[in-house]
Structures are given as structure tokens and as C-alpha cells.
Amino acid sequence: MTSESSSIDRVPPGPKGVPFLGSLFAFRRDPVGFLVETGERYGDVVRYVLGGKYVYFFRHPEQVKEILVTKQHDFAKGRGLEWAKRFLGEGLLTSEGEQHRRQRRLTQPAFHRQRIASYATVMAELTARRRAGWRPGETIDLSSEMMALTMAIAGKTLFDSDVEREAPEISAALTQMVALFPRYAMPFGGLIELLPLKSNRDFARSRERLDATIYRIIAERRQSGRDHGDLLSTLMAARDEEDGTGMSDVQLRDEVMTLFLAGHETTATALAWTFYCLSENPAAEASLHEEVDRVLAGRLPTFEDLPQLAVTERVFAESMRLYPPAWAFGRRSLREVQIGEYTIPGNTYVVLSPLVGHRDARFFPDPLRFDPDRFLPEARAERAKFAYFPFGGGARQCIGESFAWMEGALLIASIAQRFKLRLAPEARVEMQPLVTLRPRYGMKMVAEPRGA
């Protein structure tokens, strides 16, 4: 067992688990249930053991703020994202220190308001094309449909490229890597990676498949030298204000891989859960349909429509409260640090969970009820800032947050114009907490047309 710092006066409560392994098996079996149950039982700070290492779980908004903002420089990324470097490289999500600050400076122009506004038409048109393939009364796997749609949008906005021809292979490669995340994010993951397992060989092939596509597009772009008006062109043109240098092909690959995974996987997952929530809440769905019909009057939504799509945005926000795509993430203390009344030793892992925090009845009364009015301006103003943090916070807050809000609202409105989506009778709905909070069995829904 790791030794505790002598300066600790109080030790947080938590489950003892079994010798050495602690709560490893309980956490692996049901990570969401484990965090929810231990938080409810032990309070806002829980200490448990995973494979011989102490882990601290914090859930109160003030503690979240301290870790993500006030004392963010006392922490580095957690174990999961340290492993994610194996396929994301040194992109914004995984890099640290000066490397992260430099990449953030270079990437920021790609997400300026004017730049992302130019993608709105692409998003709406690709959604219209996708929904046109749905037959009335057909049962679709909305999870797969949204993955394909957001992949097409990512391909067009990132690369000005139609990647739909390669979508099945790319999707399979991403799924393969995402599925292995829980294994490698746990203690002993590094040892498992060294074993001659088929899953390890599959992972290597998946990375090679994605690399082939991305490096091919980068090489074509270098050769043409033309500005395509996409995110990749912006990244290639970016120059560091401090030393005047740009990104190498490897750095471009890492940022593109990060944006491709984050912009495709998380939004698709959020949208699948959004339409599930709407199918279970007719009143909220009716409010959404009324707004969409009134604001759009049958035409596709545009960037200029977003301020009038307030109900749509609240629906998306409430869905991400109940089912945040980034359901949990970790940090590692770089040194001894005081969080509230507890001292965290150096080199100790800390866990934060938007999913658990978003379901805290102290800040969201009747927390399992789907109620978009929780995100009316006056309700937001009364709530602690970090009671809701689906995009993280501090210097590492998701750089694509404004992109995600726009994409979510435009896609929800575009689909709701033409269809009501009803949960299929045979559907099984269960959370699968991988890198993102995927629906374990997909999301089988019946597409009911709403008319012209």
C-alpha cells in the first residue's frame, strides 16, 4: 500500500474493499453505480483503493472548482488520458505543461466564433440528408445513425472531405479503441498492454487505420497548399505568436485525431441520449416541436436561428445533465495539495464525475426527472457554477464547447422538424461508461414522421 503524507490530519471515509486490490473489482463491475453509491454513503469526499493506490473522489461543486480552476496547476491529467496518448498522441486532450499551452494557442483560432459559424450550413444539410434516408415507421439504431452523421460532419468541417465512404472502417477502428479504454485506464493496464493478446493487436491495427486516413489528408493538403476553409487549414496556417513556428505533421495528426474523436464521439452520444429523453417526456418534446415549427417554419436551421432556439438548447443541456458524454475524468496531484478540509498527497489520483454531480439533489431537486427549465437563465444564476460541468473547466475546458453547443442545437432542430423518435418496444437502454457514456445496446427507435 502506498504511504500517506505525515501532514494529513484527517482521512476521508470510504470503502475498505479487499486487501491490496481494494475496490478494484467493484469499480470495474459498475463504475457509475460505485461512484453514485459511495458518494451517497460517505459524502462529498470518498477515499478508496484501486490496485494498491489510494484514489480520492470529489463531488461538491466547490471542490470541483478548486481542482479544475483554483488549484489546477497542482494537477496533471489522470490515468485514463495518460493511456489515451497511445492513440491521441500529444494533442490538446492529453498534453501537459508548455506543450499544452502552445497547442492551445495554435488551435484557438480554429474555434473563433466566425469560423465555427461557417459550419452551420454544413451541419444542417448533412442532417437533412441523413434523415431523408429514414422510412416512416422504420426502426433505426439512433446511436449508429448519430455516429455516422457526426462523423460526416467532422470529416467535412475538419478536412473539407467526404469520409462517408470510409465511415464503416473508421467507426469500427474508433469503437475498438474506445472499448479498450476501461481496461488500460485501470491499475495494471500497462502490464496488460505488453501481453500478446488479440485485443492488443486489434488496437494497433485500429490506430494504423486511422493514421493512414489522417496522414493521407495532411499530405494531400500540404501538396495543394490551398485553404479549404476547414479546421485543418486553420491549424496548418497557425503560427505560434511567441516563436513563429507552426505544427509539424505529427502535431497536426495528434490534434486532428483528438478533434475527430472528441467532436464525433461525444456529440453523437449526447444526441442519442437526448432523443431518448424526449421520447420519455412528451411535454418537453411538444415544447421543442412548437419552437422548431415556429422559428424555422419548415426550412433548415441556420447559425442566425440559434438565439431563437432557446428550448432546443435547454433540452440539449438537460440531456447532458442526466447523461454527460464525458461522464467522469481524473487528475493526478503533482504535489501535496489542500482541497477543502483534506490534504491530498502528491502523485495521487483524483476522480470527478459530471454524471454524479449532475444528479445531486442539493443542486438539482428531483434529479432523475427530465426538466429543461432547469436551464432557464434565472435557474442557472441560482446554482453553484460547478454543479454542472459537462465540458470540464479551467485552462483545460473543452476548446470545442461552442462548436458542440451549435452542432447539438442544429441537429436536434433539424431532426425534430421531420420526425418524432419513439423508443422501440424491443429496445434495451443501459449506460455503458467507456471513454464516453455510450448506450450499451445502441438506441433502437422508431422514426415517426411529423409531416412536411
Give Cα separations from 391 to 145, 227, 404, 426 (angstroms): 23, 30, 10, 33
Interval 182-195: pLDDT, tens: 665 555 566 666 77
Contact 292, 395 (CB under 8 A): no
Q: What average pLDDT score do residues 377-386 get?
A: 96
pTM attached to this predicted model? 0.89
CATH number at residue 78: 1.10.630.10
Nearest to 134 by CA among 414, 422, 425, 449: 449
Would residue 141 count as lying in a domain?
yes
- Cα separation, 395 vs 100, in Å, equals 10
Whether 3 has a pLDDT exceeding 50, the answer reads no
Q: Which 3-state string (H, E, C) describes 235-304?
A: HHHCCCCCCCCCCCHHHHHHHHHHHHHHHHHHHHHHHHHHHHHHHCCHHHHHHHHHHHHHHHCCCCCCHH
Assigned domain for 13 exists? no
Residue 291 maps to a domain: yes
Would 205 be classed as within a structural domain? yes
Give the Cα-Cα-Cα angle 289, 290, 295 (nearest 5 degrees): 100
**Using 50, 70 and 90 to split pLDDT, how confident is the model at 1?**
very low
Q: Looking at this protein, which amino acid is placed at residue 258?
A: T
pLDDT digits (tens, 9 = 90+) for 322-362: 999 999 999 999 999 999 999 999 999 999 999 999 999 99
Is 145 inside any structural domain? yes
In this prediction, residue 5 carries a pLDDT of: 42
Q: What is the mean pLDDT of residues 121-140?
A: 95
The answer to whether residue 321 sits within a structural domain is: yes
Structural domain count, the chain? 1
pLDDT tens digits for range 82-98: 767 777 788 887 788 88
DSSP string, 402-450: HHHHHHHHHHHHHHHHHEEEEE-TT----EEESSSEEEBTB-EEEEEE-
3 located within any domain:
no
Determine, yes or no, domain membership for 15: no
Distance between CA atoms of residues 239 and 397, nearest Å: 22
Would you state the cell numbers that stand for residue 374, as one nine-digit string? 432547469
How many CB atoms sit inside 10 A of residue 90's CB?
Answer: 18
Can you read off the three cell numbers belonging to residue 246? Answer: 507552426
Mean pLDDT, the chain, rounded, equals 88
Residue 133 has pLDDT above 90, yes or no: yes
**CA-CA-CA-CA torsion sign (65, 68, 69, 74):** positive
| Separation of alpha carbons 236 and 368, rounded Å | 45
pLDDT tops 60 at residue 431: yes
Q: What is residue 215's predicted lDDT score, i.e. its pLDDT? A: 87
- Helix (H) or strand (E) holding 109, with range, is none
Q: Is the pLDDT of residue 162 over 70?
A: no
296 pLDDT higher than 50: yes
Range of 330's domain?
Answer: 24-449
Q: What is the pLDDT of residue 182?
A: 61
